Amino acid sequence: MTPPLEGIRIVDFSQFLAGPYASLKLLDMGARVIKVENPKAGDLCRHIYLSDTKIHGESTLFHAINRGKESIALDLKSPQGLAAARTLITHADLVIQNFRPGVIDRLGLGYEQVKAIKPDIIYGSISGYGDSGQWADLPGQDLLVQARSGIVWLSGNADQGPVPIGLPIADISAGANLAQGLLGALFRKERTGQGALVETSLLEALIDLQFEFLTTYLNNDEIPPERAQKGSAHGYLPAPYGVFETARGHLALAMTPLDKLVNLLGLQEDPRFASGSNAGFTHRNEIHAILRSAFKTKSAEQWESLLIKHDIWCARILNWKEMLRTEAGKALEMLLPDPENTTTSLRHLRTPIRLDGQRAPSGPDAPELDAHGQAICEEFGISRI
């Protein structure tokens, strides 16, 4: 398989998560990523840990998000380091950065400055909140952006306080959005020769992630959704949509005709189901309570088996260990190396995208700081002295 981005060269000044996630997505499609790092400590992500698990003394996140990339250490505040970075840019198709607004310009590597070096450059930029407005200079940290976006207020049950998403969804969504924009710019450049400035932010990513709910809110007299009292899984959808505790484990129910489920569970006589198709809306919390009692009579696995036979949309809730051991999880072959292979200490996830039936190889592990510095300098005629 010929990778679709083979021959595309990216100079990546970004660090931590959002920017490196974008370059990782393009690397998985064949692009070459040259990661420019601070000579003193490198990417902040090398030393900010997800847990007390470390790989070669560095965070697991750094290794997860920088596999297959090359590292060169440049002091961008020194004339030599800045000159070296500019030389790299003359050989690049894309540049990525995620400094706070104004920082990259002060270093001499903002879009207009880079465009003067290479007019057809495609320049990708991620910020926390955009480059203007009262939040522009605030730290673009995932949890803080979640808090300001409305998504934390939306999650959880009615009697809970705000509940953050347990993943850095702002960073990951913004990185995915930037990768999408960069691909669009590359396609246009192939047709017109024109470069581009591609911009997004963590806040824009989370606003976009809520497009379904926000569109409903904006076109429904700005009436906010109401979280269910327990087992809430969607701010608008009626009962039985939600999560239910069973005799063992939990069960998720999706869009299911309420009358079909009521008949199956023998609950036809309950008057709260008598309001027809609107019962799931008008008596959502009461119906959830009735279903919670009914589902406690069997395990989640038993209910899943029974309900699927009757074409009820449901799924028992799995943890990571359970999910990865399922036949469905194994069939995707997203883990490297194979879970049964213990010849290496490092395990990675492969790209979720398949081209012509194949996934791109994951490439080597994340680089040590400046691991490719000398080779890159020799390749492009750069001097750091």
Answer yes or no: is pLDDT of 209 > 80.
Answer: yes
Q: What pLDDT sits at residue 242?
A: 87
User: Parallel, antiparallel, or unpaired: how do β-strands 54-55 and 196-201 relate?
Assistant: unpaired
Would residue 281 count as lying in a domain?
A: yes
Domains identified in the chain, total number? 2
Q: What pLDDT sits at residue 38?
A: 95
Mark whether 47 and 182 lie in a shared domain: yes
Answer yes or no: is pLDDT of 281 > 80.
Answer: no
Would residue 214 count as lying in a domain?
A: no
Mark whether 325 and 367 lie in a shared domain: no
Would residue 2 count as lying in a domain?
A: no
Is residue 298 within 8 A of residue 246, CB to CB? The reply is: yes
Instruction: State pLDDT tens for residues 214-241.
Output: 998 999 899 888 887 777 777 777 778 8
Mark whether 83 and 183 lie in a shared domain: yes
Would residue 3 count as lying in a domain?
A: no
Higher pLDDT, 126 or 236: 126
Instruction: State pLDDT tens for residues 364-384.
Output: 889 999 999 999 999 999 998
Q: What pLDDT sits at residue 300?
A: 94
Mark whether 199 and 233 lie in a shared domain: no
Q: What pLDDT sits at residue 51?
A: 65
Answer yes or no: is pLDDT of 92 > 70.
Answer: yes
Least-confidence region, from 70-74, 246-250, 284-288: 284-288
Range from 202-206, 342-346, 362-366 that averages highest in pLDDT: 202-206
Would residue 222 count as lying in a domain?
A: no
Q: What pLDDT sits at residue 59?
A: 86
- The range of the structural domain enclosing residue 170 comes to 9-209+352-380
Question: What is the rounded average pLDDT for all residues in the chain?
Answer: 89
Higher pLDDT, 321 or 183: 183
Mark whether 287 and 374 lie in a shared domain: no
Write the CATH number for 141: 3.40.50.10540
Q: What pLDDT sits at residue 86?
A: 97
Mark whether 205 and 282 lie in a shared domain: no
Answer yes or no: is pLDDT of 64 > 70.
Answer: yes
Range 99-123 burial, b when 16+ CB lie within 10 A, else e:
bebeebeebbbbbeebbebbeebbb
CA–CA gap between residue 131 and residue 114 (Å, rounded): 18
Mark whether 238 and 168 lie in a shared domain: no
Is residue 283 within 8 A of residue 229, CB to CB? The reply is: no
Using a pLDDT cut of 70, give the percent of the chain over it.
Answer: 93
Answer yes or no: is pLDDT of 144 > 90.
Answer: yes
Burial label, 330 (beta-carbon count in 10 A; 0-12, 13-18, 19+): middle
Is residue 124 within 8 A of residue 96, CB to CB? The reply is: yes
Least-confidence region, from 31-45, 177-191, 259-273, 349-363: 259-273
Write the CATH number for 247: 3.30.1540.10
Mark whether 83 and 31 lie in a shared domain: yes
Of 110, 145, 106, nearest to 129 (Cα)? Answer: 145
Answer yes or no: is pLDDT of 362 > 80.
Answer: no
Would residue 216 count as lying in a domain?
A: no
Would residue 126 count as lying in a domain?
A: yes
Model confidence band, residue 342 (pLDDT cutoffs 50, 70, 90):
very low
Mark whether 199 and 277 lie in a shared domain: no
Is residue 11 within 8 A of residue 36, CB to CB? The reply is: yes
The vertex-62 CA angle with 198 and 335, nearest 5°, equals 95
Mark whether 205 and 233 lie in a shared domain: no
CA–CA gap between residue 45 and residue 326 (Å, rounded): 32
Answer yes or no: is pLDDT of 135 > 70.
Answer: yes
Mark whether 258 and 318 lie in a shared domain: yes
Would residue 45 count as lying in a domain?
A: yes
Mark whether 106 and 129 lie in a shared domain: yes
Q: How far is the first Cα of the chain from the last one, in angstroms, to the nearest whole number?
A: 41
Is residue 370 within 8 A of residue 73, CB to CB? The reply is: yes
Active site residue ranges:
171
